[in-house]
Structure 1
Amino acid sequence: MKPSDFFTRAKANEGERMPLALPDGTPTDSYLVIRGVDSDLFRQALDDHRRDVLAASSIKDEAERKEAVKASQLRLVAALVIGWSFDAEFTEAALLELLREAPYIADAADRFASDRRRFFGKSSTDSAKD
């Protein structure tokens, strides 16, 4: 084996398609393209989220503090998404709306991005034979 067999960043930056299902579980042809948690943009967003949560801790009003943390968490999950298959234009505002109004999709994106096996399937292990 060689050190490069353990590299994850480049593949995580490329992203993978995550199929979407309707809230009742019905499969669809729609998908999101999700970065892995080892991607550069997500790691930067995670640092930003930690700073946001720290800053929010100084907000006196509990409801306002919770809203600030929730908004930061939504931006963190949004940093995982590179694109989508919808006819609607892919914009940050449209993505945030989707993730806010369909929290099950935000949860699925987080789980998908955290599962490194999704990004490093059988085809990527062939390089170990080199």
Structure 2
Amino acid sequence: MKPSDFFTRAKANEGERMQLSLPDGTATDEWLLIRGVDSDEFRTALDEFRRELLGVASIKDEAEKTAKTEQVRLQLNAALVIGWSFEDFSEDALLEFLRESPYIAAEVDRFASDRRRFFGKRSTGSARA
């Protein structure tokens, strides 16, 4: 083996497609392009998330604290998404999508955290005739 066998950053920056399902589990043709947790963008966003949470801790009003915590959590999750199959990809559209589809936001987190999705050996179909 060589040290480069353990490198993850470049592949995490490229991203992988995550197919989307409807809330009832029905598969769709829609997808999100997800960065891995080892990506530069996510690591920067994670640092910002931690700084923001320190500021949130000083908020006295519980409703305001909860709202701000959710906002910074959504921004962290959004840092994992590079693009999508829908029209008009923008940060605002992405934040609304993740806020209104919390099950997808949770799946984005699981997908990005699973290094095997980015680095695991892919199945190659049988080439037998």
State the TM-score, normalizing by the size of structure 1: 0.92
How far apart, CA to CA, are the structure 2 residues paired with 1:64 and 1:57?
11
One-letter amino acid matched to 2:43:
R
Return the alpha-carbon distance in structure 1 between the equivalents of residues 48 and 5 of structure 2: 29
1:118 aligns with 2:117: yes
How far does residue 113 in structure 1 lie from its aligned partner after superposition? 0.1
Cross-structure match for 2:63: 63
Does 2:99 align with 1:97?
Answer: no
AA aligned to 1:51 is R
5 Å-filtered alignment, 1:1-130, equals: 1-86=1-86, 88-122=87-121
Counterpart code for 1:62:
E
User: Which of the pair is proportionally richer in helix?
Assistant: 1
Query: SS in structure 1 opposite 2:29?
Result: strand
Question: Where does the alignment leave 5 or more consecutive residues of structure 1 unmatched?
Answer: 124-130
Structure 1 position 69, deviation (Å): 0.8
* Percentage of identical aligned residues: 70
- Aligned residue identity for 1:121: G
Partner SS state of residue 122, structure 1: coil
CA RMSD of aligned residues (A): 0.7
User: How far did residue 121 of structure 1 move?
Assistant: 2.2
Measure the CA separation in 1 of the matches of 2:48 and 2:121: 33
| Structure 1 position 66, deviation (Å) | 1.1
